[in-house]
Amino acid sequence: MFSWDRLRIFAAVAEYGSVTRAAESLRLTGPGVSQHIRKLEKEAGTALVEREGRSIRLTPAGRALATRAAAMSALADAAEDDVAAIDTAVAGALRVGAVASALRRLVVPALADLVRTYPLLRPEVVDGEGIDLLDRLQHRTLDVVVFESWDHRPATVPAGIDVHTLHTEDVHLAVPTDDSREMASLGDEANSIWTVCPAGSDAHSALVHVLREAGVEPTIRYEVSDYSTQLALVEAGLAVALVPDTARARTAGVRYLPTSPVVTRSLRAASSTRIPAVAALMDAMNTILAS
């Protein structure tokens, strides 16, 4: 197998037709270049150059190898340029994990803006629960995670992860329109049927915790991740739900009541890398939230 470094040196020798000039371009010594050529000939099992005074002439095998060596040298230079560009520009892969409620109204429009501005950016998205996404972030299989943290049940973030709060919002009780109350005391919800995100999610843990603090053991019959489906259950009169403001929808059959005690949820962004694409995504999400 040919040495990559020797192929680059041989490409320079073929280009300049001189060991001395090739050595100068590579900032090597002439004897050092000659030694690499001899080792490359040994790897090839045939002569690659013939000396003609102070210059050299390629053998037929040398000409064939020189063509490939030049192409490989150009490819290596391009790879170095790509890596350098990604280190300083918004480009390359950006692996994003987000809870479902943050995707539609925040992450997706932010990525759409970024791709229009930075066409070399290649976003990849996966949804899931915050605890699972943060674990993937810690193991470096994601670059940034957008997760939720409820005031009554704050999310636990692994050590060594940078975290920024993007947005803090009120959570309301979604009820059918025939509910005439102006305020919902959670301690009065002992007879309510609930819909909430599945067990193991931050939303599920927060709902159970806040209701138990209010003296209520919740009856949960509908566990669905999608808030629009939860609202459909509320509209049908089958359940009530705690819904963050960013997940609210204009649904004719649903009213949103402030709660006592007040419940809030924060959307937070965590990252374990400082690549420019992560900073650009943070800025884009902040712009959307501010608009």
Q: What is the pLDDT of residues 221-233, one digit of tens each?
A: 999 989 999 999 9
Query: How far lies 46's CA from each of 39, 61, 79, 176, in Å?
Result: 11, 8, 30, 85
Looking at the chain, the whole-number percentage of residues with pLDDT higher than 70 is 97
pLDDT 10s digits, 28-38: 888 888 898 89
Q: What is the pLDDT of residue 85?
A: 58
Structure-token pair, residue 207: 């709902």
| Cα maximum dimension of the chain | 102
- Buried b / exposed e over 157-185, threshold 16 CB at 10 Å, is beeeeeeeebbeeebbbbbeeeeeeeebe
- Kindly report which listed range (86-95, 104-113, 237-246, 261-270) carries the lowest average pLDDT score: 86-95
Q: Which tokens hold the place of 7?
A: 């192929």
Is residue 87 very low, low, confident or very high in pLDDT (cuts 50, 70, 90)? low
Per residue, the 3-state secondary structure of 179-220, as one string, reads: CCCCCEEHHHCCCCEEEECCCCCHHHHHHHHHHHHCCCCCEE
Q: Which amino acid is at 287?
A: T
Rounded to an integer, the average pLDDT of 20-44 is 86
- Averaged over 125-133, what is the pLDDT? 92
pTM: 0.69
Structure confidence at residue 84 (pLDDT):
59
Among 30-34, 112-116, 168-172, 205-209, which is the least confidently predicted range? Answer: 30-34
pLDDT single digits (tens) 139-149: 888 999 999 99
Rounded to the nearest integer, the mean pLDDT of the chain is 90
> Which structural domains are found in the chain, ordered by start?
4-84 (1.10.10.10), 96-164+270-290 (3.40.190), 168-265 (3.40.190.10)
Q: Which one-letter amino acid corresponds to residue 258?
A: P
- DSSP β-bridge partners for residue 219: 193
